[in-house]
Every structure is written in C-alpha cells, then in structure tokens.
Amino acid sequence: METLELPSKLRRTPNLPYKAITLMPIGDVQLGAEGADLDRLKRHIDYGLEHNAYFLGMGDYVDVASPSNRAKIRAAGLYDSVMEALEAAAEKAIGEFLEAVKGTEGRWLGILEGHHFYDFADGTTSDTRIALALSTPQFTCHHLGTSALVRIPFVRGGRTACSTTIWCHHGQGGGQTTGAILNKLERQVGNFEADIYLMGHYTKEVSERKSRISLSRGPDPHLIHKTIYLASTGGFHRGYLHKNRTGLVPRGSYVEQGMFSPATLGGPVFQLRPVHTNKTDYVAITKIDGDLSP
C-alpha cells in the first residue's frame, strides 16, 4: 500500500476561508478498446482545467492487456518481432490517452494501477509511463500501485491546520448493484481512517455521504461533526454500442453478453475547502454531480 502527503505548493492558500481545491478522480477509460468515449473524457478534462482541478487516476487508462492476457503473453514465448509489435500498440494507446488529457501535466496527485495495463520488456508498465509523462519538474505524478492513502494538508500560520485523507483502490470483483458497490466501500471505513473513500472498476458513479463524530483537542474539548464520502468513480467506456459487429456478425461487448448494467459515464468531482473558526480548523467536503460533460 502506498502513502502520500502532498507538497505545500498545493496546500498553501492565501486567505481564510481558504480557496477550495477541486479534486477529480478519473479512471476506467480503457482507451484502445471499442467503446472508449474519448470525446466525453476530453470534455470532462476541459471542465477540470477550467476549474483549476487536481486529478487522481483510478486505473484502466488503456485497454492493451488484461491480467489473463498478460499471463498468456508471458507464457507464449513469442518472437521478438511480435513482442515489439505489441509494445508499439501499447505505446500508441498510451499516446492517445496522453493526448486526451493534454494540459493536465503537473496536476495529478497520482495514478492507481488497474487491471488493464501493459508490461514492457524494460520493466516499466503502461501505467508507470503515463505517470512519468504526467509529471513536471515542479509536481510529480506518483504511481500509487494497488491502493493508497493520500493526505492533502492545508497550512495556516506555518503549520498544518487541517487535512483531508483519501483512501483509493481500483476495485476488484463483481458488483452490479449500487448496494453491492457501496457495501465494499463501507467495509473499508472500518479498516482505514479517511475522509473520502474512492473505488473504480465498476464504471458506476454512485456515492454515499456519512457522518462521523470526534472530539477536538485542547483543554476545552467539543464535538466535531465530519462528513465523509464513499464513491465509485464512474468511467468513460460504454458497455452497449449501436449495431456493434465482430467481423460481419452482430455481437455485443462482454457487458452486453453478460447482461450487465450500462456504464455510468463521467466521474465525481469534489471540492475541498479548508475553514478556520475560533475553535478549530476543518476541511468542508462537497461532492458535485459527476456528469459534467453530457
């Protein structure tokens, strides 16, 4: 599990209440596969850039190889020329994804590893290459691996006055219903202390808001009421395509063949606003409707 605390450049704000940070988790694009909604992704990214957002990658950016595909490629003993052709296809998909998110360099907190990525011969993966390409000398896009706890501190008077912690995981297993997805997230509330719990994989944009009560520090303690969020982060890959064909044969995608629910396109948007009162500092978290690019 990876842990990350962001640098002061992101968290420092000049006035109180502090200027809000906009956070946009993005994943499950599966670019390279039929059904990837590239236009919607670009509009979603444009919204983020217009609102000075920071991004968090939730996995499955390109669709070059699933876990079973990667195992078969490793076991096949393919000729070098075939492996080079596969790497070229993976590099092409990476380039298309980076073109879609152009302008966001230096604004990614990090990216999680999903199920769909490509293992290159030099030890890198499509995900690590994407993370490197989205980094700048001033701000690193960290590869966050399987899951991570990310803390965003807000500085006042030269010290951390309050912070927001995010637990994030790409997701695993089935879960067609809203309840099944939220149940998986709710189990993590008891395992990890965080303010926002995020999970990708299911291409559903569902969320739940919960309240948590704690006790303030100091000689005159009082109750602190904090709102936490559980959210599945949607996606940009359509499961049902009009008149889809495999060769000359009418045939739906694995989503249609499996009678799965249609994907929820788009992703959630959060505003994190540090607030100072005469008793305490806290971060007010607000979730905005995820479908910002109809």
Cα distance between residue 287 and residue 203, in whole Å: 18
Q: How far apart are CA 279 and CA 220, in angstroms?
A: 9
pLDDT at 40: 92
Residues near 165 by Cβ (< 8 Å), separated by ≥ 6? Answer: 149, 150, 151, 152, 193, 194, 195, 196
The pLDDT value given to residue 269: 95
Instruction: Name, in order, each residue with C-beta under 8 angstroms of 170's C-beta and a sequence gap of 6 or more.
Output: 27, 58, 59, 60, 112, 113, 114, 115, 146, 147, 199, 200, 201
Is 223 inside a domain boundary? yes
What domain range is 83 assigned to? 2-288
Burial status of residue 278 (CB atoms within 10 A of its CB: 0-12, 13-18, 19 or more): exposed
pLDDT in tens, 61-80: 998 765 566 566 666 666 66
In a domain, 173, yes or no: yes
pTM over 0.95: no
Q: What's residue 51's pLDDT?
A: 92
pLDDT tens, 196-214?
A: 999 998 888 888 999 988 8
Q: Is residue 69 part of a domain?
A: yes
Domain count within the chain: 1
pLDDT at 82: 72
- What's residue 105's pLDDT? 97
pLDDT at 235: 92
CATH of the domain at 100: 3.60.21
Q: Is residue 13 part of a domain?
A: yes
Tell me whether residue 79 is in a domain.
yes
Does any domain span residue 293? no
Burial code of 44-72, b = ≥16 C-beta within 10 A, e = fewer?
Answer: bbebbeeeebbbbbbbbbbbbbeeeebee
Examine residue 294 and state whether it is found in any structural domain, yes or no: no
The one-digit pLDDT tens for each residue of the chain (294 residues) are: 999 988 755 654 443 345 688 999 999 998 877 788 989 999 999 999 999 999 999 999 998 765 566 566 666 666 667 777 888 888 999 999 999 999 999 999 999 999 988 889 899 999 999 999 999 998 999 999 999 999 998 877 777 788 899 999 999 877 677 888 899 999 999 999 999 999 998 888 888 999 988 887 778 888 888 899 999 999 998 878 788 787 888 887 777 777 877 877 889 999 999 888 877 888 899 998 655 554
pLDDT at residue 44 in the model = 94
